[in-house]
Every structure is written in C-alpha cells, then in structure tokens.
Amino acid sequence: MKVEEKGTRFEVREGPHGIKLPVYMDNHATTPVDPRVLDEMLPYFTERFGNAASRHHAFGWVGEQAVEIARERIAKLIGAAAEEIIFTSGATESDNLAIKGVAEMYRAKGNHIITVVTEHKAVLDSAKHLEKHGYRVTYLPVNKDGLLDPDDVKGAFNDQTILLSVMRANNEIGVLQPIAEIGKLCRERGVLFHSDATQAVGKMPVDVNRESIDLLSISGHKMYGPKGVGALYVRRENPRVQLSPLIDGGGHEHGMRSGTLNVPGIAGLGKACAIASEVMPQEACHIAGMRNRLKDTIMRRLEEVYVNGSVEHRLPGNLNLSFAGVDGESLLMGINDVALSSGSACTLARVEPSYVLKALGIPDELAQSSIRFGIGRFNIEAEIDYVADRVSEAVESLRELSPLHATAKPPRTS
C-alpha cells in the first residue's frame, strides 16, 4: 500500500497557545533524537567514517575511540564496567541474545527458564522458540496492579532453572517490578537474571550490581538516541556470564556479536546515556508532574476512567487509561492531531485486547478502551492541557453516540 493511500502525509501546523500539531505523546514507542545526540553522531557519517575494526590507520582508530567512549558512558549509567557492554542492533536483539545465548551455553546445567506473562514479545517469543527445542518455560502471572509477586518467583525455581527474565519497566503500563528483591532470589539460587530495561534506562535509576542483574537489555531509540542500535550488559564476574552468539563471523564484541559496528549509532547511544546521567533526577520529577496533571485533568472531567497498572510503582512518563463505553481505536481516530497508542493489538483483520491488560484481569471491553500516554523530554505543559481537552471531548462525543454506555457498568474499580 502506498503511503498516500493511507492518508499519512505528515504536516506540522500551528496549534493553540503556540504548540505544534500534531502533538507527539507516544514516547514509549520511540523518542525523537535529542539534538545534542545528533550533533555527536554526524561526524561519524562523513569525515570520521572509519570501520572501528580497522586497526592499521587513523580512520579506524577514531571509530574505535568513539565506540569505547560510548561503552564507558553506557556502563556509567547502569553501574557496570565498560567491558561488560556488548553492542547490538536494539533491545529485540539484546533480548534474543541474552535468552537464547544463555539457554544454549548452559544447556548441560539445566533446561528450565522462568519469565512473566506481561513481558515484551521479544522475550516471550524467544521463550516460545526455546520450548520448541526442548526447553521448559514457566510464565509467571502478575496481580491486578501488574506487579510480580516475588513468592511466585521463589516457588517457580527448580534444580533445572538456569535463567529468569523480568522486565524493569513494562512498555504498556509502565509498571516497575521489584527487581532488586527478585535479583537477590536469583543470586541465592545461582540462577542467572536477565532484565529487559529498554523503557527504564535513562528515565530512572538502574544499577546492575545493586539489583543483582546479570544481563540487561538497552535500546537507543527509547531514550532520545537513534533507532537501530542497542546494547546488552553481560556480567563478567561474580558470576561470569557466558553466551553462545546468535551471529557468527569475525568475533566482534568479545565473540558475542559479530558484524561491523554501527559507529554513528553507537556514538549517539553513548551521548544519550551521558545526557541522561546529568538530567535524569530533575527530568523524571518534571515529567511525572506533567503525567499527574494529565491524569487529574482527565479524571476530573470524565467519569468511569480507570488507571491500568500500579500508580505508585510506575515510570514517570507513563499513563495507561481505560475509558468505559469507548472503543480505543475509535478514540484515536477522533483525536488524529495527537500521537498516542491504544491498548489493542491488530492481528490481521481483528483487533484484540492487549495481552498485558488481560493479564491484569481487565475485562475485554475495558482493555479495548485503553489508551497509552507516553510523556517525554520535549513535551510541554501546554501540550498536556491540549491533549487532556481533546481526549475528554472525544470521549464525551463517543459516549453520546454509544447506545451501550448508559447501561455499561465495568466490574472493577481503579
């Protein structure tokens, strides 16, 4: 299908109070590249274009230096050592390398892996792949707030367990899992602990040693860096983690991930981490304030609005709301000057409720009425107020048109 047929011509126009339309509030899907990150990257496309693996001339040396500076910046942000950072194409590859790499390397020790029903598909699909090859996988449930019970983790361990994978922050509902407590349990049992921290790194403190994390996945484009680059933290001592590579050819990245390094992207990811190290505490506080302003404004104007996931244990910029009596896809179509995501997944011709929301025990009707708001570094308060007004007006209009809303009484409270 041609782009024109989908009506996706992109035009920026002036909105009220000096804001630019459309308003972007889908920062969990991707973030804009910070201009400071772009400035860091640009020279490596042109005059500093050398291959970081070229060891016999200055072009290669400059590229290698950029990679090592980025490695140090990433390591500093998560409390690791620079040599523990492996560059990948993004978090999906990092998740695959961590899970499949451990599974193959430690097959002689055991064939049991534990994860959670609300994980990202990169983790869940990797686990399902391993099941086809004789591994046993336990998928732990979460409670109605989206939180994992550490007692469930403890009860799932057996003498064949080699790996537990639990995400640091959920990509849909922003819930923060009790990672330090879970990591301690893994350390006591000698089980390796992987965490997909794609949504968390750069937005909140992450410390791989304090939280007993052995493998951790990172993506550049979730933290104002470029797309197509990520990293995997791999612990080198206490315990030393070994991985079977997914990609062979050349032995790059300590033999764990062969292939010519994306030097511009890596430099950008490093700069994004350096910026986060400086601004994260103040930025998180500011973004959380805007998130709360959005939530309070919408819930003050509308009845039967429900927050999905723990309010207390949550990413600063995440807000996931269900609007009773309203279809999420219809709501998004009604506010096409705001970029948001629905809690539904399109599968072929069907629209199905989010598996994450269903795991919380949310009825299908409410799950299909959910909207994810992702507030980020470049959003301003005028945009928050504009989005609250647009959403509230659209919900009111859709409810007036719905013959079901007057009788709909969702069987739950926030």
Active-site annotation, residues: 346
197 closest CA partner among 185, 183, 213: 213
Output b/e per residue, 269-285; b: 16+ Cβ within 10 A. bbbbbbbbeeebeebbe
> What is the residue-wise DSSP string for 116-129?
ETTS-HHHHHHHHH
Going by the DSSP 8-state scheme, the letter that residue 376 receives in this structure is -
| DSSP, res 362 | -
**Measured distance CA(259)–CA(285) in Å, rounded:** 39
Nearest to 246 by CA among 128, 102, 127: 102
- Please check whether residue 116 is in contact with residue 166, taking contact to mean a CB–CB distance below 8 angstroms: yes
Contact predicate 336/10, CB 8 Å: no
Match 């080699």 to its residue by tokens. Answer: 162
| Gap between the Cα atoms of 157 and 239, Å rounded | 18
Task: Assess contact for 256 and 97: CB atoms under 8 A.
Answer: yes
Q: State how far the Cα of 301 lies from the Cα of 249, in Å rounded to an integer.
A: 59
Give the 3-state secondary structure of residue 171: coil
What's the one-letter identity of residue 322? S
Residue 91's CB is within 10 A of a number of other CB atoms, namely 26
SS3 state of residue 413: coil
